[in-house]
Amino acid sequence: MIMRALTMTVVVPGFLIAALLAGLFGTFLADRDPPISIISAEVLTPMVRPGDPFTMRFKVVRHRSCAIHADRVLRDSAGGREILEDFDLKTDPGPIGNDSFLVHVTVPAAFKPGPAHYITAAEFACNVVHKLWPIRAPVREFTFEIVGR
């Protein structure tokens, strides 16, 4: 009788707690959908002089608010490369739903005329599992033209 009471008060609740935690962890592992969908990305300054800003407009749908980390790079036609400052936010600042925002990047003065590329690689952390295994968005590359000074 004592063993049965001990089993009911210690073992069964322990199994229930373990099952709940396993279910929660499984839900976190299965959560791989990006929290943002990009509807459009438009180069607003298709022709830029070295030293001038390059501007893009993004239209997005935010499905939920998550931490964002984005690596960004500019490349010119002569193989020049400028690694831009990382873009980091603890939580996405925009509203859930449709939104748009502008990105401004100054083209380095040493960049050569010709086709140039703005490249981004973003990752998101929406739960604790994503801190170790983030959701990665596809690498995106946007082309614009650098014109003579």
Query: Residue 20 — pLDDT band, cuts 50, 70, 90?
Result: low
- Average pLDDT value over all residues in the chain: 85
Could you identify the residue written with the tokens 């089993």? 7
- What would the mean pLDDT of 108-135 be, rounded to a whole number? 93
**Could you give the C-alpha distances from 5 to 15, 17, 27, 55, in angstroms and in order?**
15, 18, 33, 70
Written as six digits, the tokens of 110 are: 């040493």
pTM: 0.79
